[in-house]
């Protein structure tokens, strides 16, 4: 009887943990961000339509739609987040708070297709006090925003290279594709890093200084770092990034 009781308690705790993981996935804005990514993918596909032969273009569309199928992306990302983050409760509590919801709303707005198009030539300059800029610098150091931005950009760019290699074998052989992509990755990391503070200033412009300070405290905390490292791994899984 004791063994049965213990087994029931274990099942209940596992069910509760699964529920918290599912809530965190929603509260963290993952479904909305995946929808924004799908919109960006559709826009990227259209940009190639008039510059590629029909067969190559169709291969690009087929490859990208298969790799970035929404349900598969969600499943991969959720599975990795669940595996990497043992205790979702601290992050869940933060992102379900009024401040957490405000942060997620700001991040989701920033990656919407219309916002990306509006700021394709650069973001408006944000005026900020020395104190606010210091808070943003601490936030930039705590968040994996540079890595995440690079992964998303590289995933979109990589589809074209994969499709060309598939349609024209040997075009970029001998490791040329990997070398080109690695060079582009390094350039993107540098570019994003150089503009990161100004980007975060704009994205979180609606947060007050005390709210921004609270966000920094969470991001720097052990619980915050555990979440963001798991989130980066989940992002890479969702994007089907291999070898990283």
Q: For residue range 123-172, what is the model confidence (pLDDT) as tens digits?
A: 888 889 999 999 999 999 999 999 999 999 888 877 766 665 555 555 45
Closest by CA to 206, choosing from 102, 122, 121, 115, is: 102
Q: What is the pLDDT of residue 145?
A: 96
Cα 172 to Cα 56: distance, rounded to the nearest angstrom:
15
How sure is the predictor about 193, in pLDDT bands with cuts at 50, 70 and 90? very high
Whether pLDDT at 14 is above 70: no
Residue spans per domain, the chain? 19-238
User: How does the average pLDDT of the chain come out, rounded?
Assistant: 86
Question: Could you give the CA distance from residue 44 to residue 64 in angstroms, rounded to a whole number?
Answer: 10
- Residue 79: Cβ within 10 Å count: 14
Please answer whether residues 111 and 202 qualify as being in contact, where contact means their C-beta atoms are separated by less than 8 angstroms.
no
Q: What whole-number distance in Å separates Cα of residue 35 and Cα of residue 112?
A: 9
Per-position b or e across 61-77, b if 16+ CB within 10 A of its CB = bebbeebbeeeebeebb
Indicate whether 11 pLDDT > 50: no
Q: What is the pLDDT of residues 43-102, one digit of tens each?
A: 888 888 888 888 888 888 998 999 999 999 999 999 999 999 999 999 999 999 999 999
Distance set, CA 40 to CA 118, 191, 218 (Å): 13, 20, 30
pLDDT (average), residues 168-180: 55
At 187 the pLDDT is 87
pLDDT at residue number 167? 55
């Amino acid at each position: 009887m004791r063994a049965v009781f213990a087994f029931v308690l274990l099942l209940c705790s596992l069910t509760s943990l699964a529920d918290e993981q599912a809530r965190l996935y929603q509260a963290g804005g993952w479904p909305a961000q995946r929808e924004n990514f799908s919109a960006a993918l559709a826009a990227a596909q259209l940009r190639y339509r008039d510059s590629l032969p029909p067969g190559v273009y169709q291969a690009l569309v087929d490859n990208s739609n298969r790799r970035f199928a929404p349900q598969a992306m969600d499943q991969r990302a959720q599975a990795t987040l669940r595996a990497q983050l043992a205790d979702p409760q601290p992050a869940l509590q933060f992102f379900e708070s009024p401040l957490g919801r405000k942060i997620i709303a700001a991040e989701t707005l920033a990656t919407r297709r219309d916002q990306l198009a509006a700021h394709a030539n650069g973001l408006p300059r944000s005026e900020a006090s020395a104190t606010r800029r210091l808070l943003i610098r601490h936030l930039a150091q705590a968040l994996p925003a540079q890595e995440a931005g690079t992964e998303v950009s590289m995933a979109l760019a990589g589809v074209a290279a994969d499709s060309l290699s598939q349609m024209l074998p040997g075009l970029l052989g001998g490791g040329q594709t990997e070398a080109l992509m690695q060079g582009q990755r390094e350039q993107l990391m540098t570019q994003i890093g150089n503009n990161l503070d100004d980007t975060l200033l704009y994205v979180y412009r609606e947060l007050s200084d005390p709210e921004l300070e609270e966000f920094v405290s969470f991001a720097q905390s052990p619980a915050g770092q555990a979440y963001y490292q798991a989130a980066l791994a989940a992002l890479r899984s969702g994007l089907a990034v291999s070898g990283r």
